[in-house]
Amino acid sequence: MLAKKHPPVANLPSARWLALAEALRPALSRNDRWPVRLVEPVADPSAFQGWRLKEVAAAEALPARTIGRGEQVIVDFGEHLVGYLRLELAYVGIAMDAPLRLKLVFGEVPAEVCEPFDPFDGTLSRAWLQDELVTLDELSRPLTLPRRYAFRYLRIAVVATSVNYRVRIAALACERVTSAARPPQPLPPGLPPDLVAIDEAGLRTLANCMQTVFEDGPKRDRRLWSGDLRLQALTNYVSFADTALVKRCLYLLAGLARADGCVPACVYEFPTPSMGIDFILDYTALFPAIVLDYARASGDLDTARDLWPVARRQLEIALAHLDDEGLFVDPKTWWLFIDWADGLDKQAAVHGVLAYAAERTLALARLLERDADVAHLPALAPRMKSAARARLFDAGSGLFVSGAQRQVSWASQTWMVLAGIMTPAEGAAAFRALPALPDAVTPGGPYLWHHVIEAMLICGLKDESLARVRSYWGAMIARGATTFWEVFDPADERRSPYRSHHLNSYCHAWSCTPAYFIRRGAFAGIIGPGSTPADGRKPMAH
């Protein structure tokens, strides 16, 4: 923990900021969604995580069915939803002479409704898994479950009845909730269908995470994380354009800063706004970038100026971990995130993050005419660049290395490009070389893949970046996704940072950004009428 290293900063107007955040709490739009089909599990090694859900009937068949003790139905709502489940149940038989007990299991992906959750060996709480045991003494009123769920599939198992009745599901609906109420901005015309589908899943991911804050995942953790917020906000600006929700989240994070001014990596909204327990150095450093993006997208420089003291403080806290030459050295007291990849050495990537963050903070200062506050920054960039190039660049391979073991990774090259420490030409060569290097640590999830795409675009690798979007996020679509996932390793579909693929979030904020790239025109010229979507190559005419 960093708390003891920095002096308390008492001058942040936390209470005022939290009051501003509260005033910006959005109303949720609420709309009913209904099942589209009844399905049953088929074990299928070729299907995602080994399970296929085969349609057995249209959803209209549901009210005509009766379900007895030990039986179940699985319904498919056709798309990932976040909301409240409403059931109308009836009994069929001579009398409902005993209570009814149902087990309800909500699944974002098929495995959740096809596999038992127990015994459970995950490293996070079992309570994140969305199952409920519901006992009903009578069936006279529609049942609305009190908790919110994130799901596409719902397994309803009848655990107990008497011998005298069976159960009929007369009606079933999900009241979908989101604060992304307005329609998204239109897509550029002529987009190939696969990218339309990727954009749609990206925006659904974003919308389902847009509640009264930008949540990271509506199944888990259901919290505002600054790292997710940065990517959500970018995608939001080019789609739902809800700058007020970003403003609310910035004030929540800022208002819940620690005594030393450090903004937590995440905050809790309920029961009352409070600081999360996690502090992530790269997230801290990138906070000013979120403010800059917000200021540019909204034009609301007043808010950015209001937040400037906390923004610059984040960079200050992060830069405290540079050594005398300006190189980042892991203090071992912080969580460094960067990516979920196993065994990733994060020194080089975090160095890149810090340099990138310094550049963003300087840009923010200039936009806000606060240059004087960061007069030391213009000289810092070349120092950090020199230090990195002297101590982390391997001239032989043309790649940046990280840590004592001089590890090569996609993460390191990516952040060195984003920081401007690696030139676009060097970066292009690196990204072309990396796939052939068996020891190079590959990205472990969408958060890093987002930054890889961004870095490739800087390096002019427009075709390659589009191909990566198609091969990575498109592979989720091919596996049935209607929202993008927190974790996705095409080579290990059950990979989980939490020792349980059931715990993974399958609608996760940081995975929504293909929509951002598509909508900001990152692939302009290589997609559209006449382009060749199958492999993403430039159309002949260009």
Which one-letter DSSP state was computed for residue 165? E
DSSP reduced 3-state for 441: strand
User: Using CB under 8 A, which of the segments 4-12, 123-131, 172-180, 428-436 binds a second copy?
Assistant: 123-131
Per-residue binding letters, 394-413, with a second copy (x by CB under 8 A): --------------------
| 119 binds a second copy per the rule CB under 8 A | no
| 95 binds a second copy per the rule CB under 8 A | yes
User: Using CB under 8 A, which of the segments 155-163, 380-388, 464-472, 480-488 binds a second copy?
Assistant: 155-163
Sheet holding 407-408, edge to edge: 393-394, 399-402, 407-408
139 versus 365: smaller Cβ distance to a second copy: 139
Choice from 10, 64, 127, 436 touching a second copy (CB under 8 A): 127
Residue for token pair 């002529």: 190
| 471 binds a second copy per the rule CB under 8 A | no
Q: How many residues bind a second copy (CB under 8 A)?
A: 39
Residue for token pair 């299928």: 44
User: Using CB under 8 A, which of the segments 13-21, 97-105, 177-185, 302-310 binds a second copy?
Assistant: 97-105
3-state secondary structure 40-75: EEEECCCCHHHEEEEEEEEHHHHHHCCECCCCEEEE
User: Using CB under 8 A, which of the segments 156-164, 207-215, 302-310, 446-454 binds a second copy?
Assistant: 156-164
The string of DSSP codes covering 444-493 is -SHHHHHHHHHHHHHTT-HHHHHHHIIIIIHHHHHTT-SS--S---TT-T
- The CA-based angle 433-436-439, given to 5 degrees, is 105
Which one-letter DSSP state was computed for residue 371? G
157 versus 408: smaller Cβ distance to a second copy: 157
Choice from 39, 73, 100, 419 touching a second copy (CB under 8 A): 100
Distances in Å between the Cα of 73 and the Cα atoms of 63, 91, 164, 169 are 11, 16, 20, 10
| 161 binds a second copy per the rule CB under 8 A | yes
Prior bond of 271 cis (ω within 30°): yes
Single-letter amino acid code for the residue at 258: R
170 versus 277: smaller Cβ distance to a second copy: 277
Q: What share of the chain is helix, strand, coil (3-state, %, to 5)?
A: 40, 20, 40
| 486 binds a second copy per the rule CB under 8 A | no
Contact assessment for residue 199 and residue 186, using Cβ atoms and an 8 Å cutoff: no
Q: How far is the CB of 483 from a second copy (least distance, A)?
A: 21
Q: CA 527, CA 538: separation in Å to the nearest integer?
A: 7
| 147 binds a second copy per the rule CB under 8 A | yes
134 versus 367: smaller Cβ distance to a second copy: 134
| 97 binds a second copy per the rule CB under 8 A | yes
Q: CA 469, CA 514: separation in Å to the nearest integer?
A: 7
| 98 binds a second copy per the rule CB under 8 A | yes
Footprint (CB under 8 A) of a second copy, residues 255-284: 268, 270-272, 274, 276-277
| 135 binds a second copy per the rule CB under 8 A | yes
Choice from 45, 119, 121, 140 touching a second copy (CB under 8 A): 140
Residues in contact with a second copy by CB under 8 A are 94-101, 124-128, 132-133, 135, 137-141, 147-148, 159-162, 164, 220-223, 268, 270-272, 274, 276-277
